[in-house]
Structure 1
Amino acid sequence: MFPSVETIMTYGECSMKLVVVGCFGAYPPRNGATSGYLVEDHTTKVLLDCGSGVIASLQNYINLNELDAVVFSHYHRDHCADLECMQYATMIDMQLEKRKRPLVMWGNEDAGVIPSLDYEKYCIGMRYVEHVPFTIGGLRFTTQANKHDIPSFSIKVEDSQGGCIVYSGDTEYYDRFSDFAEGVDWLLCECSLYSDQRGQVEGHLCATEAGQIAARASVRNLALTHLPNYGDRESLIQEAGTIYGGKIVLAYPGMVLKI
């Protein structure tokens, strides 16, 4: 049995935490969601990606009007399907005076498939640039371009106390990613494939490759996410563990990674 949301949200002291809202690749399971991760410190709440089912699940943890910003890794639908619904929710909250400020939406400059991050006076679209830091409240963000079939970026989040999380977004293996994730407290790494599927799907990682990145980067902890909708997912931990000797966890809705 997983711990209750109330238990994991309030237990212990931390300067920053990441709540797994959705953790599946491609499509959401029944009552689940694809990519969505709530990062927060004591003053700031930011959503990383907003895939299918994320808005409904996010309301298990916060009110939508508490959200300060959304940062998109890329524009495949399992990472941004709920974008327009989030814009509508923001509009309604502002009209009802539940929200005082527009929601800021950060994304990359992908001319091929870029959605409209701006929405009237309710949402403000911002473009990030690789390796150029930007801040949202008390959190600092940096991005790095991945290897994927459309522009996709890994996202580093740092708090004022020196805590650091890297979220991989979608990517296949490349050496430079280990440099970007060097020594972080948590690497939240995509794990779309089982190790015997290595190389079968371009633009994605298998469990062994996720473990290899974590080992090369000497990260403190590894969380596997963007999980397949089939097979024995628990075996992914064992597969990654053949390369990486640190703590490995399998993401699930409601899991909290604390810094």
Structure 2
Amino acid sequence: MRLTVLGGCGAWPTARQACSGYLIEHDGFRLLIDPGYATFPRLLDHITPDGVDAVLVSHGHPDHCADLNPLLRARALSGIPASPLALHAPHGALDAVLALDKPSMLASSYTLRPFWPGERFGIGPFTADTWHLPHFVPNAGLRLSAGGGASLAYTGDTGPSPDISRLADHADVFLSEATYLRTVPDPDDAPYLLTAHGAGMYATRAGAGRLLLTHLWPGTDENAALEAAKEAYNGPAAVALSGLVWDAAAL
């Protein structure tokens, strides 16, 4: 299993960092997770639009799915032969982004495969286990496993939950939302967002092999986020920056 980070900025992209977006590859199958704002150009640094085999979305906020629109446009309108793209997402999560164009324009470019968080299903060579994690909208925590035993856990966007430790239990890599450093400044948001320090605590509880911090608030000092995480986690850790690659085969 190979992970390539396309972006990991929360809320909106910056000049150097796209929003959430991750390309996962195994046995030649390419799965795109959370094509958020500005991830489509980063995707094109690695593959052509017809090279994506399936898309998996954690929730419907645009910083996690907005760039599905240019991906589908490229597949439907550019003359590139491409079969309908399987879109796996919680029920209703993609309604807004799919409504950006008239239905007939993109209808042949995708097949919608909705799921309820908590379900297990297959995507190509991957088994996807999902958890309902707390956020402002329905959000699915995702755990992907593939042949050879490699596993990747991803929170999507979430607040504190005991299910995070179950999601990340001994995962080879734990990709965790870390919007803030040590505290969520608005108490009303605290049930729905995590901190870098909190991500480190969950990584330790889960016995995760590696921690990647993502969804940092724009402008957050990356070294400060790592420092906060490492106060609670002593394993290898990094910030999910565009271009970062994790390869299970290299371990």
TM-score normalised to structure 1 length: 0.87
Identity %: 29
Matched, 1:104 2:104: no
Matched, 1:236 2:221: no
Query: Does structure 2 retain, via aligned residues, the 8 Å contact 1:43–1:138?
Result: no
Match of 1:8 in 2: none
| Secondary structure of the corresponding residue to residue 121 of structure 1 | helix
Q: Where in structure 2 are the equivalents of 1:73-222 lying within 5 Å?
A: 73-93=58-78, 96=79, 98-110=80-92, 115-116=97-98, 119-197=106-184, 200=187, 201-202=189-190, 203-222=192-211
Offset of residue 100 of structure 1: 3.6
Structure-2 change in CA distance of 1:111 and 1:63 (3 Å): closer
CA distance in 1, matches of 2:5, 2:229: 20
Structure-2 change in CA distance of 1:213 and 1:28 (3 Å): same
Q: Can you give the 5+ residue segments of structure 1 that lack an aligned partner in the other structure?
A: 1-15
What amino acid sits opposite 2:128 in the alignment?
A: F
What amino acid sits opposite 2:215 in the alignment?
A: H
RMSD, matched Cα: 1.9
Which deviations, in whole Å up to 9, do the C-alpha atoms of 1:180-220 show, x marking residues without a partner? 21000000001100114466433111111101110111111
After the TM superposition, which parts of structure 1 deviate over 6 Å for at least 4 consecutive aligned residues? none
TM-score normalised to structure 2 length: 0.90
Instruction: Tell which deviates more after alignment, 193-202 or 77-86.
Output: 193-202
Offset of residue 37 of structure 1: 0.2
Match of 1:248 in 2: 237
Q: Can you give the 5+ residue segments of structure 2 that lack an aligned partner in the other structure?
A: none
Which deviations, in whole Å up to 9, do the C-alpha atoms of 1:87-121 show, x marking residues without a partner? 2111025xx2x334111111101479665498412
Query: How many residue pairs were aligned?
Result: 241
CA distance in 1, matches of 2:6, 2:177: 15
Query: Does structure 1 retain, via aligned residues, the 8 Å contact 2:173–2:212?
Result: yes
Structure-2 change in CA distance of 1:111 and 1:38 (3 Å): closer
Match of 2:215 in 1: 226
Query: Does structure 1 retain, via aligned residues, the 8 Å contact 2:60–2:94?
Result: no
CA distance in 2, matches of 1:112, 1:57: 21
Query: Does structure 2 retain, via aligned residues, the 8 Å contact 1:90–1:123?
Result: no
Query: Does structure 1 retain, via aligned residues, the 8 Å contact 2:66–2:97?
Result: no
